Amino acid sequence: MPTDTTAVAPQSLTALPQWKALESHFEQSRSVHLREMFKSDAKRAQTLSVEGPSGMFLDYSKQRVTAQTMQLLLALAEARGLRARIDAMFRGEKINVTEERAVLHVALRAPRDAHILVDGVDVVPGVHEVLDRMGAFADAIRSGAWKGHTGKRIRTVINIGIGGSDLGPAMAYDALCAYTTREISFRFVSNVDATDFAEKTRDCDPAQTLFIVCSKTFTTLETMTNANTAREWLLKGLGADSAAVAKHFVAVSTNAKKVSAFGIDTANMFGFWDWVGGRYSMDSAIGLSTMIAVGPTGFQEMLSGFHEMDEHFRITPFAKNLPVIMALVGIWNSNFFGSQTLAVLPYDQYLDRFSSYLQQLEMESNGKHVALDGSRVTWETCPSVWGQPGTNGQHAFYQMIHQGTRLVPCDFIAFCEPLNPIGIHQDLLMANVLAQAEALAFGKTLQEVEAEGSPAWLAPHRQFDGNRPSTMIMAPRLTPAALGRLIALYEHKVFVQGTIWGINSFDQWGVELGKVLAQRIIPELSGTAPTPAHDASTQQLIARYRTTRGR
């Protein structure tokens, strides 16, 4: 087994004196209400807030922590060797031990003059070489210099990919929509359900459509199926031979062989590297659609934002380090308060797909029950992550967050300046996010409800316990750089939590079994394969499908 010199013995987590200290602190402080915490400490809001790069402000004073809680959590982070782990990641050590790979998404946004070595080779020049090629290609598409097979310019860009090869680009396109060219329409096809492809292409002119096939491995069932369907659709639509593919398909992958085998000229391929995890790849060539949408300059601004947060994470003392603080607060909620979930609630419609993106980032990274040494962890790891933009969610699921029986910690994300300054919308939006965090924290007592004149029988229904924790991330404005900072914030938060839990945040073995079984079932559904041998339930369902389809 490959060794990782910075990994701390994972079994030791709950036996650590720092963990024990947190347990007794939890017992003493668990029932203290946020109302009392604010009352007893006039400086609480300031003490438990921190300003990060370019005005990104993190107010975690509405979390159920005190300065002492944070000190104890920080001591735990030190005991888990966080400093050494961060340094190892930035140095390009192979900390993804189960895949024997370095973890260097930070190199994707390193400046041109930086040097980061993997196996003795500086990876930064290669990163910039690809960025330059992407820039030239994006400019050619944006200006219309790149022509399709019939000589027309490209009007629709369709990204075909799934997981990290889809969620990042799709999220970034929405998030940065205000900065995108409106001359080209952008679409994202991911699902193997043909509906996805059919609906996204139904009004497209093949002569003006460019497909970007994004797949790190270039073997993923969904992506390869959709890419083949796209090629057939294109050739049928253009009544052309396979030479047309060169003008309408480009590939983003680490696998040049498979790209050629598919029929895409590797001159039209943009590469990346095995040290970029799929869910950490939206700022690699996987972001080609983003770059075409916002232009090379906009993309570069986004990378600068990422890099700014990387540097903040790398050098800022942990007590003032945004990703570290967010991670520690999350550990407190998950491992001590026992919360099973995290709601991420951006008050910005452009971040419509942000929580879907985070689901993969957090849950594929830290949804693990095996520690780095192969032992089974005896503590909870990743919570389920979900959410949608406010104020929509307020009229759907917030009821449960306010008055349900479970503790649902929330991350609120808000930007002060609107990108669409119309009337008083922004003030209303901001009033709502502030009100929600306040209501969750402080609630409304029975006495307050009764004092408002509610009859005694109704008052319990109208009472709010409060004491429901949330963090507010407030930034000046949603820009490409702000998006980069925000994503890097969560990437590093995930890494810190993985370090404390003693797991590998960079593999994803848990997705393999389903893939293998699907491959086995595919021929069985056609009815030509031998009688399937599955459990009785699966067998019954296969038989039902075959009958329904007349097989």
Nearer to ligand F6P, 50 or 286 (CB): 286
Map residues 158-197 to x or -, x wherever contact with ligand F6P holds by CB under 6 A: ----xxxx--------------------------------
Q: Counting contacts by CB under 6 A, is residue 346 touching ligand F6P?
A: no
The alpha carbon dihedral of 447, 452, 457, 461 has a sign of negative
* Smallest distance, ligand F6P to C-beta of residue 504, A: 13
Q: Which of 20, 39, 236, 515 is catalytic?
A: 515
Nearer to ligand F6P, 215 or 300 (CB): 215
Left (φ > 0), alpha (ψ -120 to 50) or beta: where does 55 sit? left
Nearer to ligand F6P, 218 or 306 (CB): 218
Residues 6+ apart with CB under 8 A from 168: 279, 281, 282, 283, 286, 287, 357
Map residues 30-49 to x or -, x wherever contact with ligand F6P holds by CB under 6 A: --------------------
Map residues 456-495 to x or -, x wherever contact with ligand F6P holds by CB under 6 A: ----------------------------------------
Nearer to ligand F6P, 209 or 508 (CB): 508
CA distance 300 to 283: 10
The alpha carbon dihedral of 253, 254, 256, 261 has a sign of negative
Which residues in the 73-132 window bind ligand F6P by CB under 6 A? none
Side-chain-side CA neighbours of residue 10 (13 Å): 22
Q: Which among 140, 132, 400 has a CA at the least distance from the CA of 247?
A: 140
Which residues in the 505-534 window bind ligand F6P by CB under 6 A? 508, 511
Nearer to ligand F6P, 161 or 484 (CB): 161
31: tokens are 């029932």
* Smallest distance, ligand F6P to C-beta of residue 512, A: 8
Q: Which among 129, 88, 94, 87 has a CA at the least distance from the CA of 108?
A: 129
Q: Catalytic: 308? A: no
Nearer to ligand F6P, 225 or 341 (CB): 225
Which residues in the 227-286 window bind ligand F6P by CB under 6 A? 278-279
With 0-12 CB in 10 A as exposed, 13-18 as middle and 19+ as buried, what is 310? Answer: buried
* Smallest distance, ligand F6P to C-beta of residue 193, A: 16
Nearer to ligand F6P, 160 or 234 (CB): 160
State the DSSP string of 481-504.
Answer: HHHHHHHHHHHHHHHHHHHHHT--
* Smallest distance, ligand F6P to C-beta of residue 93, A: 21
* Smallest distance, ligand F6P to C-beta of residue 363, A: 11
What size, in residues, is the chain?
Answer: 551
308: tokens are 């700014």
How many Cβ atoms sit within 10 Å of the Cβ of residue 465? 13
Total of chain residues touching ligand F6P, rule CB under 6 A? 14
Q: Which among 504, 529, 505, 508 has a CA at the least distance from the CA of 519?
A: 529
* Smallest distance, ligand F6P to C-beta of residue 254, A: 8
Single-letter residue type at 243: A
* Smallest distance, ligand F6P to C-beta of residue 355, A: 17
Nearer to ligand F6P, 164 or 330 (CB): 164
Q: Counting contacts by CB under 6 A, is residue 223 touching ligand F6P?
A: yes
State the DSSP string of 365-396.
Answer: HH--SB-TTSPBPSS--PPEEE---TTGGGGT
CA distance 45 to 400: 26
CB 217 within 8 A of CB 257: no
CA distance 85 to 260: 38
Q: Which of 308, 364, 491, 524 is catalytic?
A: 364
- Given the rule CB under 6 A, which of 60-68, 138-146, 210-218, 297-305 is the region that contacts ligand F6P? 210-218
Which residues in the 349-408 window bind ligand F6P by CB under 6 A? 364
> How far, rounded to the nearest angstrom, does the alpha carbon of residue 108 sit from its chain's CA centroid?
16
Q: Catalytic: 257? A: no
Q: Counting contacts by CB under 6 A, is residue 215 touching ligand F6P?
A: yes
- Given the rule CB under 6 A, which of 1-9, 201-209, 211-219, 241-249 is the region that contacts ligand F6P? 211-219
Q: Catalytic: 364? A: yes
* Smallest distance, ligand F6P to C-beta of residue 367, A: 12
- 181-194: b or e for each residue (b if 16 or more CB lie within 10 Å)? eeebbbbbbbebee
Residues that bind ligand F6P (CB under 6 A): 162-165, 215-217, 220, 223, 278-279, 364, 508, 511
Just list the catalytic residues: 364, 395, 515
